[in-house]
Amino acid sequence: MKKFLGIFLKNEKEINVLREANRRVSIILDALEEQIRPGIQTIELEQTALSLCDRFDAKPAFKGYRGFPFAVCCSVNDQVVHGFPSDRMLVEGDIVSIDFGVVYKGFYGDSARTIAVGSIDESTQNLLDVTRNALQIGIETMMIGNNLYDISRAIQGYVEKQGCSVVKRFVGHGIGRSLHEKPEIPNFVPQRYTDIPLKPGMVLAIEPMVTAGRDEVEILADRWTAVTKDHSLAAHFEHTVAITSNGPEILSRSHPEHGQGRSH
């Protein structure tokens, strides 16, 4: 595989397989989203994801990854990422961030959404809207001629203007034959950085994690679940995106023919 500054550049054939992998992720996320309502336990989402992986000839990407015990990350309310599916019952007004990935024919797909459980209050809806928009705004900067940190700058600038915070502990990433490849894509601009020009064939998972309060997170005793230190609500949206000479293509969609109007 061709490389640029240590970053794998995927050819058309490889992007076709990545599209297939990510389409499966998106179809399964659609099914999980459909299932979410007050009264379900988050472990039910794990069971659905596993059975759909079987049906779609895909392997769950997260189960066993660095010892993560589940196929799906279910992070509720002040949990930011990497929450465990459990017998916790979702109640009206909760939000749940579902992060899911598969391997298909040797290539990875990765996508996440935060979903409202029943009706949620206005400030919670605002957090979801800001995070979903931040992802879309980040993706729109993925044009040839721009640099990697233009994505970071666009996301951070938008989120902070809305009075929310971007989480700094976790970042987006290249994706391909591995779940996490170079480069890292922070949702903020660090004090020192070396920028990288965006090139056709780069495939990047862009994933703003946004809180309604401060950006500090801590990890629970299970050694995975990240929660906001101030217990403010957190949201997470992620797409796997290919950079082409015609602009960004979101691969993690269930209906690619719908174009780029919506982030899912």
- Catalog residues that contact Mg ion under the rule CB under 5 A: 99, 110, 112, 205, 238
Helix (H, G, I), strand (E, B) or coil at 58: coil
Name the phi and psi angles at 79, rounded to 5. Answer: -80, 130
Distance CA(118)–CA(176), nearest Å, equals 35
The kind and range of the H/E element at 110 are strand 107-116
Complex with Mg ion: residue 174 or 192, whichever CB lies closer:
174
Residue whose CB is less far from Mg ion, 50 or 93: 50
Residue placing its CB nearer to Mg ion in the complex, 27 or 257: 27
Residue 144 CB neighbour total at 10 angstroms: 13
Q: Please, are residues 260 and 135 in contact by the beta-carbon 8 Å criterion?
A: no
Cβ 18 to Mg ion shortest distance, Å: 14
Minimum distance, C-beta of residue 30 to Mg ion, in the bound complex (Å):
16
Residue nearer to Mg ion on the CB measure, 39 or 64: 64
Q: How far is the CB of 256 from Mg ion (least distance, A)?
A: 19
**Shortest distance (Å) from residue 170 CB to Mg ion:** 9
Q: Torsion over CA of 10, 178, 198 and 248, rounded to 10 degrees?
A: 70
In the complex with Mg ion, which residue's Cβ is closer, 99 or 215? 99
Q: How far is the CB of 110 from Mg ion (least distance, A)?
A: 4
What is the phi-psi region of residue 183: left when phi exceeds 0, alpha when psi lies from -120 to 50, beta otherwise? Answer: beta
